[in-house]
Amino acid sequence: MDNHHNSQSIRQLTVAAIGVVYGDIGTSPLYTVQTCFSSELGFKPTPDVIFGFLSLIFWAQVLVVSVKYLAFVLRADNKGEGGILTLMSLAGRNTSFRTTTVLLILGLIGGGLFYGDSIITPAMSVLSALEGVQVIAPNLKSFIVPVSLIVLFFLFHIQKHGTASVGKFFGPIMIVWFLVLAILGAKQILNNPSVLQAIHPKWAIHFFVTYKAASFLSLGAVVLSITGGEALYADMGHFGKRPIRLAWFSFVSPALILNYFGQGALILSDKSTIDNPFYKLAPEWAVVPLVILATLATIIASQAVISGAFSMTRQAVRMGYFPNMTIMHTSKYEAGQIYMPFVNWILFWCILIVVVLFRESSKLASAYGIAVTGTMAITTILACYAAIYNWDWNKKLVQYIGAALLIIDIPFFSSNLIKVVDGGWLPLSVGILTFTVMAIWKWERFLLLRQLSRMSMPLDQFVNLVEKNAPQKVPGTAVYLSRTPQGIPHALIHNLNHNHVLHERIVLMTIRTQDVPYVDWDKHIELTELAPNIWRLSATYGFHETPDVDDLFRNSARMGMTFNLQTTTFFLSRETLLPTQRSIFAEWRAKLFILLSKNSLRTNDFIHVPADRVVEMGIQVSV
């Protein structure tokens, strides 16, 4: 078990994992079987079709969730953390520059598709839950969209309060949900046990042989049964591998399989139930309580995806793929529980548009599948590179494993890609937009830092200048925040040229991020004396950590350098970026970077420096 979970029992973590990790995949029975028999696919509920779909669902869960994610991908452990960007940084180690670049692009594309998933999941889940009221009151159909919008607004409105106070309720609610899934399914299986023969893979093979092209298109519906698989890896750092695996094999997987086979048994007995087999599993008196429970379950599933979007955005910010944004910690004890206002409300408005545009969960199925299957395929490729270059696995063995997994991933993705016009354009558009922003920000920021490095004054030149023209010294400490660890920051040169003074002690501070989640506290700070009373302070953090000036001062004190905030002034350069005459594409890229920079959180706000202790020095830079 992971070190930082030693104080908690396996049982507590397993319950929590059931609530958070499996919220998304746990609500898939609401719409998966219904989508398999949608009018778009055109399948009749004959026994061989029902057995074929159930066999595909069963083996998809076994091969993708149990084998791929739980047995293989969860081994890609970056100091206990997981997720597509974490895997990207892990896979790119020890590889050639060209290979690293390709893996970087794949990782960013996967990250972009994850945001598409973050938009579709809440819309799909809440709509599918509330559509249950049609079973008992078809005339209430017109109220589903307005009520969904109210539920979603409530969900996003409470995000600012954090999940710390409600997180302990997630597990118990989802335990009740999975128990209900199992009971409803088991009841129908007892009435028609012949449905269990669908476990045999011959029915999946027979389905493909018989229906050929139509069976290939149906994979877009089958894949809905494994949506949420990426959460198993993304949430590894919160719960550890063992609780996630234990929750799946002992509780979640059996409950899901029972419910899917129960829906199949119901359709075998009554073909008219294909319009909404999930809710028709329940007796009429239980439909309203089931709708309420399903709505709670979908809110929990949506919460997990929203929290994941916050976490991945923070990773991207710390790794230099997004501008600095406001990050609010909502728990004193859990570093992973954060709230990002900008991300929260962008997601809300996007989801609102999606709900109003699509209006029905069945119409979102195509859009849902592309985001999930695209991320799945990219995860396979990145995990294989991590296995070869980080775990020292036999290259041939990994190639066989990768080929076997891609034989599953690529057909799933291809079957959804065909439906771009029907809704698949949505996650692809979100993915392309997000990838463009991340790639442009990273590249233009690299060019900016290179430009600033060229414009900076070398240390020895600065020391000679000060010795020849000794300026007046003023009491106190001046901390100059520098983007690059080389040379003298522009703010220091400007202060000397315009004010003709220097502080008694000068500290050049650079904050860097490594491609690991956490850095040991004793390695956060590196102090180097460059010249008498001139020091360089390099602060290094992991991409799951947020720098804080109080933390910096405490660690510096342990190394013998104390700071008094009341006598310390922070100087930083405020760059005014000017686009230069370049090609049309390069100029457009620069203008987007300038726009993002203007709306980026300032460095002193990002590390929580008191505003009355900050002095900004302006500089113009061409990009």
* pLDDT over 70 (residue 241): yes
Who's near 554: CB < 8 A, 6+ residues apart? Answer: none
> What band does 5 get if pLDDT is binned at 50, 70 and 90?
very low
* Nearest 10 degrees: Cα torsion 72, 75, 80, 82: -40
Q: Which of 1-5, 97-101, 518-522 has the highest mean pLDDT?
A: 97-101
The span from the CA of 355 to the CA of 122, in Å, is: 9
Whether the per-residue pLDDT at 378 is higher than 90: the answer is yes
The whole-angstrom separation of Cα 573 and Cα 562 is: 24
pLDDT tier, 48 (very low <50, low <70, confident <90, very high otherwise):
very high
Long-range contacts formed by 384-391: CB under 8 A, 24+ apart = 385/91, 385/92, 385/95, 385/99, 385/103, 386/76, 386/87, 386/90, 386/91, 387/75, 387/76, 389/91, 389/93, 389/94, 389/95, 390/76, 390/90, 390/91, 390/93, 390/94, 391/75
Considering just the CA atoms, what is the radius of gyration of the chain in Å? 27
pLDDT digits (tens, 9 = 90+) for 196-237: 999 999 999 999 999 988 889 899 889 989 987 777 787 776
User: What's the pLDDT score for residue 335?
Assistant: 54
**105-109, 242-246, 390-394, 576-580: segment of lowest average pLDDT:** 576-580
The three-state (H, E, C) secondary structure of 110-146, written as one string: HHHHHHHHHHHHHHHHHHHHHCCHHHHCHHHHHHHHH
Where are the domains positioned within the chain? 13-321+329-443, 456-622
Among 35-49, 302-316, 406-420, the minimum mean pLDDT is found in 302-316
Dist. CA 72–CA 80, nearest whole Å:
15
Q: What percent of the chain has pLDDT over 70?
A: 91
Banded pLDDT at 410 (limits 50, 70, 90): very high
pLDDT number for residue 405: 93
252 or 163: which carries more pLDDT confidence?
252
Positive or negative torsion for Cα 205, 211, 213, 216: negative
What's the pLDDT tens digit per position in 255-298?
A: 999 999 999 999 999 998 888 899 999 988 888 899 889 888 88
What would the pLDDT profile of 127-170 be if each residue is shown by its tens digit?
A: 888 887 777 777 777 788 898 899 889 888 877 776 545 455 66
- CB 161, CB 230: distance < 8 Å: no
Q: Which CATH superfamily is domain 13-321+329-443 in?
A: Amino acid/polyamine transporter I (1.20.1740.10)
Higher pLDDT, 372 or 231: 372
| CA–CA distance, 178 with 252 (Å, rounded to integer) | 7
**Phi, then psi, of 473 in degrees rounded to 5:** -100, 140
- Mean pLDDT, the chain, rounded, equals 83
Is residue 416 scored above 90 in pLDDT? no
Under a CB-based contact definition with an 8 Å cutoff, are residues 35 and 365 in contact? yes
> What average pLDDT does range 421-431 have in this prediction?
83
> What contacts 243, CB < 8 A, 6 or more positions away?
5, 10, 13, 14, 16, 17
Q: Is the pLDDT of residue 4 over 60?
A: no
Among the listed ranges 124-133, 221-230, 468-477, 513-522, which one has the minimum average pLDDT value?
Answer: 513-522
CB-side exposure of 197: number of CA atoms within 13 Å?
11
Place of tokens 């995990």: 383
For the cut 90, the answer to whether the pLDDT of residue 183 exceeds it is yes
Confidence of residue 621 (pLDDT cuts 50, 70, 90): low
- Looking at residue 298, its pLDDT comes to 84
pLDDT of 345 strictly over 60: yes
User: Could you tell me the pLDDT band of residue 178, with boundaries at 50, 70 and 90?
Assistant: very high
User: Helices (DSSP H) in 456-548: which residue ranges?
Assistant: 459-468, 490-499
Average pLDDT score over residue span 306-315: 82
What φ, ψ does residue 602 adopt, rounded to 5°? -70, 155
Instruction: Tell me the average pLDDT across 558-583.
Output: 76
Predicted confidence at residue 89, as pLDDT, reads: 84
